[in-house]
Structures are given as structure tokens and as C-alpha cells.
């Protein structure tokens, strides 16, 4: 995902955060994934190995799509925190919007 798409993802995710359509943090995301609520996960590329280990298997096992953004600091900023390793989107429409942005990034690479 290029910088423009990443800005779009973060902007849309920020709106979703204000609408309480997402959960923040490893423990809250794990709980929501186990409850079948997370529609897409947004993970910071620089998330710690420990944080990744706690969520990667669970996300893959539940077939939750995952998007990556450059930094936990950027992800945290939109979540109102200093940093955030992961955000789980629980709203279907917000998740669809994020995946559509990511799909345009993938389509641009293939062209």
C-alpha cells in the first residue's frame, strides 16, 4: 500500500474510531476476534514480535483480513493513544471501505 492509500486508510479508520466502530490494542482485538466481531485488522509494521505472535495465528485461523500500516505511532495517533500495534474493525461497512482502498492499491501495483 502506497503512502496515499495509507493516508486514506488511516483517515477512514479515524472516522471509525470516533464512531466506536473499532477496538484498539492486542488484548481487546483478541477478545473481539474470539467473539467473531472483527471484520478486518489493521496492524502496524513495527509492532513488536510479541504483539504479532499474540494475534497473527488467531487472525489467520479466523480468516480475518489484515492490512498493514507503517507505524504504531501513526495507528495510535488516530486511536487517541501514544501508539497502537493493532486495531480491529468491528463494523462491516467500515471494513468493506478499508478493504476497497487496499484493493485499489493492489490493482495499481498489477497495472
Distances (CA, A) of 70 to 34, 73, 91, 111: 26, 9, 23, 23
Q: In whole angstroms, give the CA distance from residue 45 to residue 62.
A: 21
Please give the domain boundaries of the chain with CATH numbers for all domains. 3-110 (3.30.1330.30)
Could you report the per-residue pLDDT of 9-35, keeping only the tens digit for each?
999 999 999 999 999 999 999 999 999
Q: What is the mean pLDDT of residues 96-101?
A: 96
N-to-C CA span, the chain: 14
Prediction pTM value: 0.91
Amino acid at each position: 500500500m502506497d503512502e496515499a492509500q495509507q493516508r486514506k486508510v488511516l483517515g477512514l479508520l479515524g472516522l471509525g474510531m470516533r464512531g466506536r466502530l473499532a477496538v484498539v490494542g492486542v488484548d481487546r482485538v483478541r477478545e473481539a476476534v474470539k467473539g467473531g466481531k472483527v471484520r478486518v485488522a489493521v496492524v502496524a509494521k513495527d509492532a513488536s514480535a510479541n504483539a504479532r505472535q499474540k494475534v497473527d495465528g488467531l487472525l489467520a485461523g479466523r480468516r480475518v483480513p489484515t492490512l498493514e500500516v507503517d507505524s504504531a505511532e501513526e495507528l495510535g495517533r488516530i486511536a487517541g493513544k501514544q501508539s497502537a500495534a493493532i486495531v480491529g474493525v468491528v463494523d462491516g461497512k467500515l471494513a468493506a471501505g478499508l478493504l476497497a482502498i487496499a484493493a485499489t492499491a493492489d490493482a495499481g501495483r498489477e497495472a
